[in-house]
C-alpha cells in the first residue's frame, strides 16, 4: 500500500520486479536527495547501531574520521 510505496521511494525497500525512479534516477538505496520524516522514532533494522548514528553524517558526505 501507501507505506510500501513510500519505502520504495525512500530506498528502504527494493522492488521484486521493475525499477523505482525519482526525477529520472533509479532508486537503489537511501540518499541525500530524498528525505523521510518518521511518525515515530525508529532505527533502520538492517543497520548496526553505529551505522544508524552515522547515517545522517554520511548523507552529508562527512568523512569517516570525522564521523567517529
Shared-domain flag, residues 29 and 56: no
pTM score of the predicted model = 0.58
Structural domains counted in the chain? 2
* Per-residue pLDDT tens digits for 5-62: 999 999 999 999 999 999 999 999 888 888 887 777 778 888 898 898 888 888 888 8
Contact at 8 Å (CB) between 10 and 34? yes
Shared-domain flag, residues 54 and 33: no
Shared-domain flag, residues 10 and 32: yes
Shared-domain flag, residues 12 and 42: no
Instruction: Determine the structural domain holding residue 67 and report its residue range.
Output: 38-68
Q: Give alpha helix (H) positions in 1-68.
A: 2-10, 49-59, 64-67
Amino acid at each position: 500500500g501507501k507505506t510500501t510505496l513510500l519505502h520504495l521511494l525512500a530506498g528502504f525497500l527494493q522492488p521484486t520486479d521493475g525499477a523505482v525512479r525519482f526525477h529520472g534516477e533509479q532508486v537503489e538505496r537511501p540518499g541525500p536527495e530524498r528525505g523521510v520524516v518518521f511518525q515515530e522514532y525508529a532505527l533502520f533494522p538492517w543497520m548496526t547501531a553505529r551505522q544508524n548514528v552515522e547515517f545522517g553524517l554520511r548523507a552529508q558526505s562527512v568523512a569517516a574520521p570525522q564521523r567517529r
